[in-house]
Amino acid sequence: EVQLLESGGGLVQPGGSLRLSCAASGFIFNNYAMSWVRQAPGKGLEWVSSISDSSRNTYYADSVKGRFTISRDNFKNTLYLQMNSLRVEDTAVYYCAKDSGDHDHWGQGTLATVSS
């Protein structure tokens, strides 16, 4: 059974940093691209970033480019999202998703709140 477990969310002040993690199990992690997708309170889904299976290719939404960095450790079966220079508008539940060509499995999400 595919399982994705996010962690690392919390409350941070504007300008601060957070590092999100997503522990994967139940599938061959290094065979799949992975993505982060966020959802602000009461809003729709917004794609944030994706990374290829080997980490060779990374992709970012314009709204986070230059501030967020996606990475993965295929030995630890873990996906990361380093979030710097956080803004109030980055407040959201952050989901990691397995990318088999579509986002076919999702974690439960972790809430990141940016507020003074």
Partner 1 sequence: QAGLTQPPSVSKGLRQTATLTCTGNSNNVADQGAAWLQQHQGHPPKLLSYRNNNRPSGISERLSASRSGNTASLTITGLQPEDEADYYCSAWDSSLSTWVFGGGTKLTVL
Scored b (16 or more CB within 10 A) or e, 4-38 reads bebebbeebeeeeebebbbbbeebebeebbbbbbb
By CB under 8 A, tell whether 2 contacts partner 1.
no
Q: How far is the CB of 60 from partner 1 (least distance, A)?
A: 8
By CB under 8 A, tell whether 109 contacts partner 1.
yes
Q: How far is the CB of 83 from partner 1 (least distance, A)?
A: 18
Task: Please work out the total of residues on this chain that contact partner 1, with binding judged by CB under 8 A.
Answer: 21
Backbone angles phi, psi at 77, to 5 degrees: 55, 45
Q: How far is the CB of 19 from partner 1 (least distance, A)?
A: 21
Residues 65-94 that bind partner 1 (CB under 8 A): none
When binding is defined by CB under 8 A, the residue of 1, 44, 56, 75 that contacts partner 1 is: 44
Q: Are strands 92-99 and 103-106 parallel, antiparallel or unpaired?
A: antiparallel
By CB under 8 A, tell whether 61 contacts partner 1.
yes
By CB under 8 A, tell whether 50 contacts partner 1.
yes
Scored b (16 or more CB within 10 A) or e, 86-109 reads beeebbbbbbbbbbeeebebbbeb
Q: Which residues of the chain form contacts with partner 1 (CB under 8 A)?
A: 35, 37, 44-47, 50, 59-62, 95, 101-109
